[in-house]
Copies of this chain bind each other. A is one copy, B any other.
């Protein structure tokens, strides 16, 4: 353990970013930050390659990724146009945004992702309780029971918490929820440590997770949704302004 701490504190994991990753990140930030307005034409591949001092193929790989992300639209013969990411980009952009922030206020992004986590988690808990797969439910109950054993270590609890919610989302049988959950988890991981205090309160609520699992196991969707709401809305309502309604808990 001493060695691990020493290593983690002393040495970086090596800044090994590939060339195309570099180009991709720069262009993404430039587009999202608005330095390239929507409908504007990006420089040609050769020009970009010259500007970044890299090969054209590296630029092409970066452009392909930007295209898949919904940030640009390349067309053979024509110029590559910048798209409005607020309209064409998918949820995966959030991860990419969080990973190298600065371009968007990180606090707001984290709040948004926590809000979405609550929204999806609550409904997933309800669905999981209703159309439950026995195996998943059993795994969920077991995970919830073993959850308290990690009591003091917030890092471990966070991992276990993600595992629990992953089971819930899987149990919901909704692929879209599952994929969105992955995006959110990756995003919050990329952004580093989110609001520590509020999340800590949520993570340490071992009883709440047990109640959630029990509700799911007994097939009571409404109760599962209620418990999920109590767990998930705390981090989003506590640190932010008191605008969001507290009516649901009354």
Contacts and interface: CB of A to CB of B under 8 A. Distances in A.
A109 interface: yes
A29 interface: no
Nearest to A60: B61
Number of copies: 2
**Main DSSP-derived SS at the A contact region:** helix
A168 to B, nearest CB: 14
What bracket does the count of chain A residues touching chain B fall in? 35 or more
Given A91-B180, A126-B245, 18 more contacts: A57-B60, A65-B65, A69-B92, A90-B183, A91-B183, A92-B92, A112-B175, A113-B176, A116-B180, A119-B119, A120-B120, A127-B244, A130-B245, A131-B243, A176-B184, A180-B180, A221-B245, A221-B248
Interface of A: 20, 57, 60-61, 64-65, 68-70, 86-95, 104, 108-109, 112-113, 115-116, 119-120, 123, 126-127, 130-131, 166, 170, 174-180, 182-184, 186-187, 221-222, 243-245, 247-248
26 contacts: A20-B64, A57-B60, A61-B61, A64-B64, A64-B65, A86-B170, A88-B182, A90-B182, A90-B183, A91-B91, A92-B92, A92-B183, A94-B175, A109-B176, A112-B174, A115-B123, A115-B176, A116-B176, A119-B120, A120-B120, A126-B248, A130-B243, A131-B243, A176-B187, A221-B247, A222-B247
